[in-house]
Chains A and B, each alone.
Chain A
Amino acid sequence: MGRSLFEKLWDLHVIAELGDGMQLLHVDRHILNELSGSRAQLDNAKRSLKPRHPQLTLGVADHVVPTEPGRAGDKTPWAKNVMQIFRDESRRDGILLLDVNDPDQGIEHVIGPESGFTLPGTLLVCGDSHTCTNGALGALAWGIGSSEVCHVLATQTIVQPKPRSMRARFEGALPPGVTAKDLMLALIGKYGTTGALGHAVEYAGAAIRELEIEGRMTLCNLSIEFGAKIGMVAPDEKTYAYLKGRRHAPQGALWDQALAHWRTLPSDPDARFDREVALDCSGLVPQVTWGTSPEDVIGVDGRIPDLKPEALAYMGLSPGQPLAGTRIDRVFIGSCTNSRLSDLRAAAAIARGRRVAAHVEAWVVPGSMRVKREAEAEGLHEVFRAAGFQWREPGCSMCVGANGDLVGPGERCVSTSNRNFVGRQGPGARTHLASPATAAACAVAGEITDARTL
């Protein structure tokens, strides 16, 4: 019987069976952020534990860094301290740290793939749940807690039970104006945030093959919102073209050797999965969330359902009212879900020649310094600025507000991030998750709107 991508990747990394389904696995790549990373580094230092392979860990500052233009205005009492620990420990441990003004700095799940640190077939972990993003390149990637970060640093391994496997097929062609974000929100809406609990998900089907690499990252990013720690797309020619020549990607003969290996990884045609789910893309419309869980999602042309009264009270919405036309205060285009060049292009295409509504504060926060440079080379920053958007420095920013970039109490924000939890963007903040195109359109309209009708 054939094997799936997931099974091949898993088996490649098993060091030892620990009994009763637990395995000790080799970690090929490890990314460290200042928030969970600095705590783990301190804990290991207390135990006099040095990293086993410091060169296989990449550190990056993203959560607490200021995103004001010019990196001005640290708004938190903790950023300085957290960053100091992170810098000191990383220097002592010999870990490459992409610090706040490094030309390669960015959100960890953006810079992993973009720098070629993430490769097909690698097992990659990071102390952050959206590490699943890296699965877009055919890596086996998941988020871990601080104790596990300590474990990975000291041993270059991780202990895990093997999850079950799931294949999610997206059939049919994507209608114009419908993006990877909409696909995945629709899938989560259909199966719920526990839909993939306990599974490693492979996204497959014609619509996925058509998606560019950055769209696949958006898709895999939301795996954790689907309940899965791991989401992945089989590597293909697009993947290899994306990676070739990137800073940490193999070069020369090593590239050829790696490529030959990568081509063996995709699921065999007769591979079996523990579970199969499917979504027909052909009728999809842009999706927007209405509640406080990513599963609370409808088409932008839909009406608020009569469900979850507590969530509706928090969101200040009533059953039966149309979602479109709801007045908004803020727009956030950014986060590891949707802050890459293609996302910014999609938003800029809407913003071009238009103006952000007078009552709306709209931000664009590029995912990395590289994305920022590339966007500026195309003049996207001018498009955004001319339309009244703020063009900011890379970081997590208003996705979680760990740097003090917050949505005010009761304010309504259309956000391209991944979590609309109660208080996620700030105490009392009301978040509507949507694609970059939808978010840009909402900024212009001053209310929730369908970008296709602008």
Chain B
Amino acid sequence: MEKFGTLTAIAAAYPKVNVDTDLIIRVERCAGTPREALGPWAFEMVRYRPDGSEDPGFVFNREPWREAKILVAGENFGTGSSREMAVWALARMGLRCVIAPSFGEIFFGNCLQNGLLAIRLPADEVRRLMALASAPASATFTVDLARQTINGTTRFEISPRPKRMLLEGLDELGLTLAMEPEIAAFQAMDRPRRPWIYL
């Protein structure tokens, strides 16, 4: 997984609330598109017009946000389906960081699995960042994960474990595979307690 250190990049504001993962990536793309090719299909229902041309009303179709690596989003971003392809599509579109007042829970977990930093901030703070991101002159943000700051002043919370995973590019599966003795010990204790579990 790619490490996340300090990111200085354009931020795009997308204030819609309850953006669901069906909107982020359509199910047809989940089924029929390789992971590497998902980027162009992120947000396709709002990104393109019916004739396939770009909709200039969509922020990622305008300069300078075409290059955005940070998304400032509305409440409950990534709600709905567990499809991890939503995160893959955002990552392939170039995003490294999403900031919102709240996230769909499965989406939030999926971000971490893919080195995408998801930051929860109070709604008024998100509104302020959206205003900054909306003007080209102030749309370049610096996200410092080690210091847990945005633009040097806005502090965000992140638990130590996900923080370490992102900073060091660690993969959760790799970490857990190293815990085989603990897993075996749990099952040895659990088998006599709940024998019907182990089919």
Contact = CB atoms under 8 A, between A and B. Distances in A.
A258 B199 contact: no
A197 B102 contact: yes
Interface string B78-110: 011111110100000000000000100110011
A63 B83 CA distance: 13
Contacts of B196: 119, 250, 254-255, 257-258
B106 A145 contact: yes
B80 A224 contact: yes
B194 A423 contact: no
Contact of B82 (A144, A151, A255, A261): A144
Given A145-B82, A145-B87, A194-B76, A19 B31 contact: no
Interface residues of B, number: 49
Given A147-B84, A194-B102, A21 B31 contact: no
Contact of B177 (A79, A143, A155, A197): A155
Given A21-B159, A419-B20, A148 B109 contact: yes
A336 B73 CA distance: 30
B125 interface: no
Interface stretch (B21-29, B59-67, B130-138, B144-152): B21-29
A421 B80 contact: yes
Contact of B105 (A20, A159, A229): A229
Contacts of A400: 22, 27, 81
Contacts of A49: 173
A424 interface: yes
A21 B82 CA distance: 22
Contacts of A39: 35
Contacts of B81: 128-129, 400, 419
B113 A148 contact: yes
A144 B110 CA distance: 8
Given A19-B160, A423-B26, A78 B31 contact: yes
A36 B83 contact: yes
A131 to B, nearest CB: 8
A248 B196 CA distance: 10
B20 A156 contact: no
A399 B163 CA distance: 37
Given A36-B84, A82-B31, A157-B176, A424 B183 contact: no
Contact of A401 (B27, B85, B110): B27
Contacts of A424: 22
Interface string B16-41: 00101011001110111001000000
Contacts of B106: 129, 142-145, 229
Contacts of B182: 15-16, 24
A198 B106 CA distance: 10
A212 B195 CA distance: 28
Nearest to A249: B196
Given A15-B186, A82-B31, A197-B102, A423 B23 contact: yes
A88 B110 CA distance: 26
Nearest to B103: A197
Nearest to B101: A194
Contacts of B79: 193, 227
Contacts of A53: 198
A122 B85 CA distance: 28
B18 A293 contact: yes
Contacts of B173: 49, 147, 150-151, 154-155
Contact of B23 (A82, A229, A421): A421
Contacts of A28: 194, 197
Interface string A154-193: 1111010100000000000000000000000000000001
Interface of B: 18, 20, 22-23, 26-28, 30-32, 35, 45, 75-76, 79-85, 87, 102, 105-106, 109-110, 113-114, 159-161, 172-173, 176-177, 179-180, 182-183, 186-187, 190, 194-199
Interface of A: 12, 15-16, 18-22, 24, 26, 28, 35-36, 39, 49, 52-53, 55-56, 63-64, 76-79, 81-82, 119, 121-122, 127-129, 142-148, 150-151, 154-157, 159, 161, 193-194, 197-198, 224, 227-229, 248, 250, 254-255, 257-258, 261, 293, 400-402, 419, 421-424, 427
11 contacts: A28-B194, A35-B31, A36-B82, A78-B28, A145-B82, A147-B113, A147-B173, A151-B176, A193-B18, A193-B79, A255-B196
The 7 closest A-B pairs by CB, nearest first: A78-B32, A147-B113, A145-B84, A250-B196, A145-B110, A129-B82, A146-B84
